Amino acid sequence: MSLGIDWARAWILRSADVIAENRTTLTTLDREIGDGDHGENMDRGFAAVRAKVDGLADDAVPGDALKIVATTLISTVGGAAGPLYGTAYLKAAGAVAGQTELDGAALVSLLTAARDGIVLRGKAEVGDKTMIDAWTPAVDAAAAALAEGRSEPEILAAAAEGAARGSESTDALVAHKGRASYLGERAVGHRDPGSVSTVLLLQAAADVAADAS
């Protein structure tokens, strides 16, 4: 089953819900090793996104929805998260531009472009204790699922599971980017908040796809 604008719209709305539900958790995580504003910033951004989703044109395609997320997050989310996630959604939108339905290959392209956008913007690598530690295993797991001939919902589920494993791995890492890098060894034992919000967003994509299947 391919996924179209209804899935993209539902993914965005589910994302807004789960970010709101986990706002305090994200803020607490960020308070331990960062500025303490990740939850508030992400919630504000996705609340603004939610308000704009209903304005999508009747003939909109998934890339149009992703572009709205990108521009809204860039303009409303403070700190590093706005530019990083905004770039992710913008690159994802470009990867599937014009496609009305997204098959497994398109989903892997979308996820890969999003990850590469974050790398381009933030210059982080796996092991730096950032959201890339969740995004890269998510992309790898999605690509593996595609190679195995899995369905679109299964590809997204694999991505979410990969992200969760990657997020957990940040507990043991010393940070090399952002404010957390100033803490040195003191950051060990704390989970990167950006990796956690990544898991929430990718799990939302998987859940909506599963609901539609």
Number of H helices, E strands in the chain: 9, 0
Prediction pTM value = 0.95
What is the mean pLDDT of the segment spanning 11-18? 98
| Domain ranges within the chain, ordered by starting residue | 5-212
pLDDT, mean over the chain: 93
Rg of the chain, C-alpha, whole Å: 16
Please compute the mean of the pLDDT values over residues 36-48 and round it to a whole number. Answer: 95
Residues 132-163 pLDDT 10s: 999 999 999 999 999 999 999 999 999 999 99
- Kindly state the average pLDDT of the residues 116-130: 94
Is pLDDT at 27 greater than 90 in this prediction?
Answer: yes
> How large is the average pLDDT for residues 93-116?
98
Q: Which CATH architecture has domain 5-212?
A: Alpha Horseshoe (1.25)
Rounded CA separation 100/103 (Å): 10
Question: Cα separation of 75 and 9, whole Å?
Answer: 20
d(CA 64, CA 212): 20
Higher-scoring residue by pLDDT: 205, 58: 205
Residue 189 pLDDT exceeds 60: yes
